[in-house]
Structure 1
């Protein structure tokens, strides 16, 4: 990459437009080829959203609402919410075409403080806890194969999860290409196990195994708090819906096909999830499902014997693939490092391997291992969901605000205002309901972590106090030398 293009990219990272190009220098704009059609866009959506959640969340959703009927309704409602949220992000992503997830949207709508707190929360809470949840899911399914009929010891699960975290971080730090190959392989494996479970469930229903669906609302325990916690677990399985606008530049006729891909793709995922839950209930009563150490493993033991080993193997492939994808995309969340809102070290590039955000991967791995030590999956999911829905709601509220404050911005995709209003109201419910109904220390810790970002924002970012700079600059320099990394703009080919 020549120096001119490097400076142009650097300018884009700091929010400059084509009209603000470097004086006296011609810029060549390079666009991605638009080779992705509607069908491919739908496949991207399905492959992005389906991950580890469908193999761990059915048990938690059922435990919160207490019956089959409300459980299936929650799965459908989560799909509707994910679809509406994706349409909101499609408008935001085509209106503000900058990388960094919610960061540039919050920066444009509300200014630097909410944007900084989002990046801070991603760094400390969202990405590490998500990575930890997926690796714990992988560990539970792998260890379940060696402890048939009982829960594996927590220490075994946590050690295996820590080993998975370290392995994935090492793979992605070593080579971006290797990380992408791993991702492609595990994505294929994921779809195989989903198809096996759905087809098996349809066959069982055709054979008349529907007794567990009679009186499916008996014993339901529907409260404000229990429904919100069930949503937390269901929405974890849909996580990734907010990233779908990143395929815009590669879509043919994107402003038509992107909303169509969302409207088709996420409901398709919803149908898959509902059919997988129905498949589970064809062979397990609600009580048996709640007692199962690994739902899909129990399903495989009862339906696919003697080939039951296929299920834990492919579920392990699916979860480790989701974990690799979570780590692989971690660098994008640290774009704030280039804006001066985080340590620039987090956005540096390895000199030897030219891998982006190598040290961001290391930081992600360390914090994720810290999270898995004292907690379990359900606590981490509640912790993650509480944090992430604060910023989902705030970001989509920014979409509403910009309808009035940024009327001049071009909106290639413009959704009805009622959609973001509904998503914001649901977000407020999801954040407040668990605290009001059943307060938990995890929510307090999460709130303290988020607000604690202000302790770093004002001296280091807003006021740029000299003594604060004297701390960060030498620290950054020594760590760059130790880890052999440099800022992206210093890499020359």
Structure 2
């Protein structure tokens, strides 16, 4: 077992009693690595479980609102799946040539250096990932509170929703800290539950098609009155891509994936097309029951669909939405903790986040940190607008990662590439990401976009003193020492797939 030694090291006999610490240069013997507990099924569950959250049950309204026709909304849903597939293929190659957890952070750092990587960690670890987790658990809490509400005519009090959301996050923190395997098992179970709900909706839609209910999806009306506003489709893509978000999540946990050179691309090739087909068929099923006007009038399309078609069994859909959002929140926290751990291990976050519990082999400090920030974001009355104005940065960093893919192909042609994707694939993603960054701003220019940009660039004010110049605050040494002993954690280290195979062979 690795020795539990404080990162801070104070010599009590030193006359100056000055505290110095540097977790990133600790002895390798005192470091622990994450265990490879994720097999192919678990990898698929992470991707599918993160992608299928609340979006497909709610987002059809937002897509239809922007496209103004059923046909174009189906096109947008399909193209969103194609975009996710192209991005995931590029990330699959990146994940096999840079087999560390951390996703975009690792790829941007390797391709363009630490400054841009820090901007990503600054925005993603502290805001995007935590606010997304808070949003997902809030939706879970709303559905759960309404399920047990005594009155069907009014929504449950907001404080009840917040209490449920906070407790859900706390439960997920405990589960993810206790065991990676249990977290993956939960992810698989929740994925099965959400797929059941969508298959049920698709089955009902298929029966309706056989019965001849095609008035809303007939070729003569499919593309009628489609929007001609080019940049409005950018907002439509955001609505659809919110439902597809999560296609890159397995890249955050590559260090825990068994045989990543084979299982990462396999998981991607299986999961993304499956979700795309399910999403398109689900949207078709909605329109076999609901008219475009009814979809636009509904805040939760799946619930309206269930109330119309399932009668006394309509409760199955909100129950499955609860399972879906809870599983998505679990996957989000699982990968967020790994991202924070890798960013810290590279010196881009506070040192304690890079530690791993010596018994559980989980990044306990990072999980608690990310979950704690999400709990704080649940408390305010309205944080959705904050999420919306920073969501465009996700595709900015996706584009940067795919651009790094292109750069690394030329700067390091000698690197081992278990899979080799044609460069046209990341190039398409780069162009698409530029469109997604610009379209919402052009379509709806407003001051909050400027605020988002200023917040991102403000990361440079922290990068140069604390990362580049390695400035350290003395009191953090005492805090790190205390937390490291409290959490029984030691610094983490990266173990390559080859080293892991050799270790397994030797044992």
Distance 1:432 1:478 in 2: 46
**Which residue in the other structure is 1:345 paired with?**
352
* Aligned position for 1:486: 489
CA distance in 1, matches of 2:447, 2:372: 22
Number of residue pairs matched by the alignment: 463
The answer as to 2:323 corresponding to 1:293 is: no
Cα deviation, 1:254-287, whole Å, max 9, x if unaligned, reads 55x7656544542221110011111112222222
- Secondary structure of the residue aligned to 1:98 is coil
- Tell me the residue number matched to 1:117: 119
Does the 8 Å contact 1:58/1:277 carry over to 2?
yes
Rounded Cα–Cα distance in structure 1 between residues aligned with 2:107 and 2:477? 28
Q: Within 5 A, what are the aligned runs for 1:48-127?
A: 48-127=50-129
Contact 1:172 1:328 in 2 (8 A): yes
Alpha-carbon distance in 2 for matches of 1:203, 1:381? 38
The reply to whether residue 330 of structure 1 matches residue 336 of structure 2 is yes
Tell me if structure 2 keeps the 8 A contact 1:86–1:244: no
Instruction: Please tell me whether the aligned partners of residues 85 and 420 of structure 1 are also in contact (alpha carbons under 8 angstroms).
Output: yes
- Measured after TM superposition, the shift of residue 69 of structure 1 is 1.6
Counterpart contact for 1:56–1:137, Cα < 8 Å: no
Where do residues 341-420 of structure 1 align in structure 2 (5 Å cutoff)? 341-350=348-357, 354=360, 356-372=362-378, 373-375=380-382, 377=384, 379=385, 382-420=388-426
- CA RMSD between the two structures: 3.4
* Most deviating of 442-451 and 278-287: 442-451
**Cα separation, 2, equivalents of 1:124 and 1:249:** 23
Distance 1:221 1:112 in 2: 42
User: How far off its partner does 1:222 sit?
Assistant: 4.2
Inter-partner Cα distance in structure 2 for 1:69 and 1:152: 36
What is the rounded CA distance, in whole Å, between the counterparts of 2:157 and 2:37 in structure 1? Answer: 50
Return 5+ residue gaps in structure 2 as ranges: 4-22, 494-507
The answer as to 2:211 corresponding to 1:207 is yes
Report how far residue 89 of structure 1 moved: 0.8
Q: 1:480 to 1:260 in 2, by over 3 A?
A: closer
Structure 1 residues 296 and 140: CA distance shift in structure 2, 3 A? farther
Instruction: Judge conservation of contact 1:390–1:431 (CA < 8 Å) in 2.
Output: yes
d(CA) in 1 for partners of 2:304 and 2:292? 13
Q: Are the counterparts in 2 of residues 229 and 382 from structure 1 also a CA contact under 8 Å?
A: no
The answer for the alignment partner of 1:305 in structure 2 is 311
TM-score by length of 1: 0.83
**Corresponding residue SS for 2:457:** helix
Question: Whole-Å Cα distance in 2 between the matches of residues 173 and 2 of structure 1?
Answer: 18
Please give the TM-score of this superposition, normalised by the length of structure 2.
0.81
Instruction: Please tell me whether the aligned partners of residues 125 and 446 of structure 1 are also in contact (alpha carbons under 8 angstroms).
Output: no
The change in CA–CA distance for 1:296 and 1:322 in structure 2 (over 3 A counts) is same
User: Structure 2: how far apart are the matches of 1:128 and 1:76?
Assistant: 28
Which among 473, 476, 487 is matched to residue 472 of structure 1? 476
